Amino acid sequence: MTPPLADPAASLQKAPQADCAMGCPLAQIPASIWRSLLRPPFRRRHPLLFWGGLVLLLLSLGYAFFPEDGLGSHDRLALVTVRGPILSAEPTLDWVRKLERNAGVKGVLVRVDSPGGGAAASQEIYTALARLAEKKPVVVSMGSLAASGGLMVSMAGRRVFANPSTVTGSIGVRMDIPQIQGLLQKLGLGQETLTTAPYKDAGSYLRPLTPEQRRYLTDVLEDMHRQFVSIVAQGRHMPVDKAAALANGKIYTGREALDLGLVDALGDRHDALEWLAKECQVSAQRPLLAPPERGSWLSRTLKTWLGLNVDAVAGLADGGAPAFLYQF
């Protein structure tokens, strides 16, 4: 009969006691500690927990470095959404750049439901989508509202769909200059401003415009208006004169926009997606690649349950300077 194996921890416990003097520190270490030092590693004692935890860690790292934007997928269609006032272009631009670099994305559906917004932000989104449309098909589906800057963004599509009752048009630019000097006078408040140039404080809300400042700012608006007209003419392949005739600030229904050449067809998002799928020879049944949710938990909750865009409200309240707007 094979004799029982000696406890290695006990052996090591005795060894220091035999070889060391009574004052040796090793002799004072309890056997339980020696036993814990010599026991098998965690991955051998609990293989399921170890390997399961490792898999979860790798999956978490994968989601962290490759979020739900579908990078690495193949033969898919993607979605770009332009909704609400266009105040900042950065989130949309980041997503469009990812889609432009992703060879697996064969086409992009742009859903527009916006009254427009900042002139520069609207133009940036249009430029990014137009560049994307040079590399892969881009179709635009107008929702209930695609006016002014929303229309500008839509001009990047190879084909534009609108509902019969979509509100679009409103081609033009405006500048809002708050006037609060009367209120300040009633409160006994005022402000002196020193400038080194005559037009440096043109558009200040603390004093009315002078005739020279009004002409100066009107010239700026006219230049931005011509840029808008040029984008419409280029996007719709129409003469500049015709686009200029439509740029009177009027709104048009989707049905009117079709007759005027501002859209290609009447239809909803499904119709636009079917056209894109056929154009790209990709199944329309696969889920569209969509950008990950942005913003804080509170802003997403308010947007989901109350329809309140906290970021948009914050943007409208940011600063008191006059802004140039492609907005209905």
Q: What is the pLDDT of residues 183-224, one digit of tens each?
A: 888 898 888 888 899 888 888 888 889 999 999 999 999 999
Which residues are known catalytic residues? 148, 200
Flag whether the pTM goes above 0.85. Answer: no
- Which CATH class, in words, describes the domain spanning 76-172+248-310? alpha beta
- Integer CA distances (angstroms), 171 to 20, 81, 200, 219, 315, in order: 94, 21, 28, 17, 23
Q: Are 95 and 132 in contact (CB under 8 A)?
A: no
Domain boundaries, the chain: 76-172+248-310
Amino acid in position 72: G
Residue 279 has pLDDT above 90, yes or no: yes
Predicted local confidence at residue 184, as pLDDT: 83
Closest to 174 in 3D by CA, of 214, 122, 123, 119: 119
Return mean pLDDT, the chain: 83
pLDDT tens, 67-119?
444 444 478 999 999 999 999 999 999 999 999 999 999 999 999 999 999 99
pLDDT at residue 94, rounded to an integer: 96
Please state which of the ranges 49-58, 110-119, 131-140 shows the lowest mean pLDDT. Answer: 49-58
**% of the chain with per-residue pLDDT over 70:** 73
What pLDDT, on a 0 to 100 scale, did the predictor assign at position 185?
Answer: 84
Residues in the chain: 328
